């Protein structure tokens, strides 16, 4: 019985061209895109620090916190964001800006208020400088001036100060993007869950009704079928990882097994998530697909996979949401591999993922046991 | 084989089955005949415990049916109104999968699958995916998936909808064969000719109720109207029409478009009387048809509406 149901699911998935494209080919295309983009970013990032001017006024001299903030990102050991040059007055700075010697300069107005950034056009460097200054002001206004020590460490937590890692031996930053991709792929396992539910519930499809008449326990059928879906989904993650390692040449090093573990646990969560979402809502298949995509996208967005930094905001404003967000947990597990040398937080994440998956499977099971419907 | 007692099924305010009773014996081909929306599918789905119902009881093989009665389910084969096969699996894989839900033993299953393929005439299409099959072949696959495990009780819900006459005959022939091999069949349709040809006993349903049950002869005997006679005529003077109307035992006489149509009361035979009158007045006539009453007449008389849609 197991073989019959399981094998049917494997065969179906292998022959479903749309699913194959979205779950197998599409991630590989994305990974390749990342690869190409990084190749360019690496060149830019390594060769060009951002030339930034500062008007050397009394206000600047007195603003010790800005001094130290700039220092913290312009240190000597190579991790340099800015090269700072001082100008006596705005005219000199304007000329330098026009000649392209600097990308922008920091100016204190006459009132001696907060510094502002003067730029002549838009670009990545200008944006980075702007974000730096905004971030600086935000922190400065919320912390006392005396806490300059803390200030610089706070600044370091923001990722725009190039690569900051708590581990001794950081891999290149692009691994993080691959991690984000893998995390998103895990959640797309939801589609496998959706397929199982749709084709096994008598109120959702004629196939469901036909299979409901089989002399096989419902739970068994759903479980075997879900296992088939999970197998196929994990396989597509394995292929993506293999592609990243062997074709794109990124090495996960000694953490490979933990990466695979996260992929597997994440797939379980994704599949369970999809099964639960599609089972508990009374929608038609197309609407369920839309619902699943939306929920997945929202989770991904909240976990910072789309716009960097959203995850920090959510973690601060709504910690419960952050902790219960499946996408955030999977992403966090991956990031732990990147940022930390110790594994407590990593395994905490894995544990939470497993508990969530279990909870979702339990809800699924409770709904599956209902077999008779008011209307089919 | 099947006992349904006092079944009531509501969809919201709509009563789809209204105190429905049904008894089907072993070895029958039982026809559920009714227009669209009369509750045939609902009745089957309730009997199979796929639907909840508000009231009543269903016994199959003498035992109460329920969603967990796997021992009963093992003996049942279902062919639903909607085609339910996996689009990604070939003809043979589909049949093998569904058969495998009932028959775990591989060798035994292989023989059964082959038999089902033979039976439905799908031999040339083993490796075809469902979307490459024509409508009729798809229906045959749908049937093969439902009966490959040789069930003792088979439910077929309009298996011939949208099927060409050739495929339809093939399917009907197959159902007869299944029945000869010992299966009891419950068959729904709104094609009365089909039901008349195939079924040993028939229930006519309307608006969730059984309006009449019996063999087709019994059903036809229930109504006032008997045979229907049609005569083609070029002209018919009013006086002669009146004379014909005077014949005792004719329920209805109409003359229009050069055709004279008459209905006898049940059991009557008046062909010669009518023709004698025509001959006596030297009226030449063309073709003459005589048709026995159809189930449509039965339905018409009992419910006051046409069965045909
Ligand atoms: N899921 C549902 N929700 C609400 N009403 C329904 C539902 N299914 C059927 N009905 C209604 O119940 C009645 C009986 O429907 P049913 O499908 O049993 O008829 P049927 O005899 O099988 O018709 P057909 O010949 O079209 O298959 C109809 O009036 C139909 O509109
Ligand atoms: Mg129907």
Pocket perturbation via mutation, ligand 1, pick of B18, B33, B38, B81 by most ligand atoms within 8 A of CB: B38
Average pLDDT over residues A283-290: 80
Q: Which residues of B touch A4 (CB under 8 A)?
A: 97, 100-101, 104
Looking at the complex, report in whole angstroms how far the Cα of residue A370 sits from the nearest Cα belonging to chain B: 9
Ligand 2 midpoint to CA A293 (Å): 34
Check pocket membership of B40 for ligand 1, CB cut-off 6 A. Answer: yes
B89:A214 CB<8 A: no
**Residues B149-191 pLDDT 10s:** 999 999 999 988 878 888 888 888 889 999 999 999 999 988 8
What is the position in ligand 1's atom list of the atom closest to the CA of A376?
1
- Average model confidence (pLDDT) across chain A: 79
Please, which residues have CB within 8 angstroms of residue A268's CB and are 6 or more apart in sequence?
A: A189, A230, A353, A354, A357
B84:A210 CB<8 A: yes
Ligand 1 midpoint to CA B214 (Å): 24
**Residues A36-75 pLDDT 10s:** 877 666 554 454 577 888 888 877 777 777 777 777 666 5
Average pLDDT over residues A327-337: 86
Model pLDDT, residue A68: 73
B84:A12 CB<8 A: no
Q: Searching chain B, which residue's CA lies closest to the CA of residue A205? A: B84
- Residue B71 sits at the chain A interface (C-beta within 8 Å): yes
Which contiguous run of DSSP H or E holds residue B271? Answer: helix B271-280
Read off the DSSP letter of residue B294.
Answer: P
Cα–Cα distance for residue pair B155/B174, rounded to 1 Å: 14
pLDDT top residue among A29 and A65: A29
From the list B74, B80, B104, which residue is nearest A206 (CB)? B80
Check pocket membership of B37 for ligand 1, CB cut-off 6 A. Answer: yes
Model pLDDT, residue A187: 87
CATH T-level assignment (fold) for domain B26-53+61-220:
Rossmann fold (3.40.50)
Looking at the complex, report in whole angstroms how far the Cα of residue A224 sits from the nearest Cα belonging to chain B: 13
Beta strand extents in B171-278 (DSSP E only):
184-189, 201-206, 209-214, 225-233, 250-256, 259-265
B88:A212 CB<8 A: no
Cα–Cα distance for residue pair B236/B242, rounded to 1 Å: 10
Q: Give the position of tokens 């939470």.
A: A352
Average pLDDT over residues B134-162: 91
Q: Which CATH superfamily is domain A50-155 in?
A: Periplasmic binding protein-like II (3.40.190.10)
Model pLDDT, residue B47: 93
CB pairs < 8 Å spanning A and B: 82
Q: Which two tokens stand for residue A136?
A: 């600086």
A210:B80 CB<8 A: yes
Check pocket membership of A99 for ligand 1, CB cut-off 6 A. Answer: no
Does A265 have pLDDT greater than 90? yes
Average pLDDT over residues A232-241: 92
Does A105 have pLDDT greater than 70? yes
ipTM of the complex: 0.80
B56: left (phi over 0), alpha (psi -120 to 50) or beta: left
Does A122 have pLDDT greater than 90? no
Sheet holding A50-55, edge to edge: A82-87, A50-55, A104-107, A116-119
- Residue A220 sits at the chain B interface (C-beta within 8 Å): no
Average pLDDT over residues B236-252: 84
At the top level of CATH, the class of B224-292 is alpha beta
Average pLDDT over residues A340-357: 89
- Average model confidence (pLDDT) across chain B: 88
Q: What are the start and end residues of each CATH 3.40.50.300 domain in chain B?
A: 26-53+61-220
Q: What percentage of chain A has pLDDT greater than the value 70?
A: 81
- B 285-304 → A contacts, CB under 8 A: none
Q: Which of A158-172, A291-305, B32-46, B221-235 is the most confident on average?
A: B32-46
- β-sheet bridge partners, residue B205: B210
């Amino acid at each position: 019985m197991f073989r019959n149901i399981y094998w049917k699911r494997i065969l179906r998935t292998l022959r479903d061209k749309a699913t194959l494209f979205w779950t197998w080919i599409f991630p590989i295309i994305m990974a390749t895109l990342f690869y190409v983009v990084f190749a360019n970013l690496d060149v830019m990032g390594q060769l060009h620090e951002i030339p930034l001017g500062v008007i050397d006024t009394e206000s600047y001299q007195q603003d010790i916190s800005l001094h130290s903030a700039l220092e913290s990102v312009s240190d000597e050991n190579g991790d340099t964001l800015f090269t700072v040059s001082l100008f006596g007055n705005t005219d000199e700075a304007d000329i330098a800006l026009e000649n392209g010697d600097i990308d922008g300069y920091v100016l204190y107005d006459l009132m001696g208020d907060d510094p502002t950034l003067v730029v002549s056009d838009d670009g990545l460097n200008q944006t980075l400088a702007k974000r730096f200054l905004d971030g600086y002001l935000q922190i400065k206004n919320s912390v006392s001036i005396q806490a300059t020590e803390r200030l610089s460490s706070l600044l370091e937590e923001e990722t725009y100060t190039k690569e900051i890692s708590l581990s001794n031996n950081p891999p290149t930053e692009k691994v993080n993007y691959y991690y984000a991709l893998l995390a998103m792929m895990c959640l797309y396992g939801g589609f496998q869950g959706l397929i199982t539910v749709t084709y096994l519930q008598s109120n959702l499809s004629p196939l469901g009704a036909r299979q409901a008449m089989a002399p096989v326990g419902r739970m068994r059928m759903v479980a075997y079928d879900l296992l088939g879906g999970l197998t196929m989904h994990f396989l597509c993650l394995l292929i993506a990882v293999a592609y990243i390692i062997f074709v794109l040449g990124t090495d996960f090093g000694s953490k490979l097994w933990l990466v695979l573990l996260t992929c597997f646990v994440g797939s379980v969560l994704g599949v369970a998530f999809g099964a639960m979402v599609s089972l508990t809502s009374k929608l038609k298949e197309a609407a369920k697909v839309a619902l699943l995509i939306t929920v997945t996208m929202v989770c991904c967005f909240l976990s910072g996979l789309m716009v960097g930094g959203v995850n920090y905001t959510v973690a601060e404003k709504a910690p419960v949401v952050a902790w219960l967000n499946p996408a955030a947990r999977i992403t966090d597990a991956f990031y732990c591999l990147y940022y930390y040398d110790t594994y407590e937080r990593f395994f905490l994440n894995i544990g939470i993922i497993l508990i969530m998956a279990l909870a979702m499977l339990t809800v699924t099971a409770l709904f599956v046991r209902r077999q008779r419907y008011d209307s089919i | 084989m099947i006992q349904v007692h006092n079944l009531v099924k509501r969809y919201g305010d709509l009563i789809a089955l209204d105190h429905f009773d049904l008894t089907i014996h072993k070895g029958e081909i039982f026809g559920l005949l009714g227009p669209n929306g009369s509750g045939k599918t609902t009745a089957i789905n309730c009997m199979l415990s796929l639907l909840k119902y508000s009231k009543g009881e269903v016994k199959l093989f003498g035992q109460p049916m329920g969603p967990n009665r796997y021992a009963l389910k093992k003996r049942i084969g279902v062919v639903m109104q909607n085609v339910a096969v996996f689009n990604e699996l070939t003809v043979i894989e589909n049949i093998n999968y569904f058969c495998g839900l009932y028959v775990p033993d591989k060798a035994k299953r292989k023989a059964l699958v082959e038999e089902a393929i033979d039976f439905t005439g799908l031999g040339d299409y083993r490796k075809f995916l469902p979307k490459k099959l024509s409508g009729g072949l798809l229906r045959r696959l749908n049937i093969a998936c439902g009966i490959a495990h040789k069930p003792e009780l088979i439910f077929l819900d309009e298996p011939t909808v949208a099927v060409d006459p050739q495929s339809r005959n093939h399917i009907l022939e197959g159902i007869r064969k299944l029945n000869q091999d010992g299966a009891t069949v419950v068959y729904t349709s709104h094609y009365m000719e089909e039901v008349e040809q195939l079924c040993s006993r028939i229930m006519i349903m309307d608006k969730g109720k059984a309006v009449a049950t019996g063999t087709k002869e019994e059903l036809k005997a229930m109504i006032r109207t008997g045979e229907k006679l049609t005569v083609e005529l070029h002209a018919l003077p009013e006086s002669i029409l009146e004379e014909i109307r005077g014949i005792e035992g004719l329920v209805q006489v109409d003359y229009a478009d050069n055709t004279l149509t008459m209905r006898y009361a049940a059991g009557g035979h008046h062909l010669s009387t009518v023709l004698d009158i025509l001959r006596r007045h030297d009226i030449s006539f063309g073709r003459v048809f005589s048709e026995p009453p159809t189930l449509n007449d039965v339905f018409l008389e009992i419910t006051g509406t046409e069965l045909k849609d």
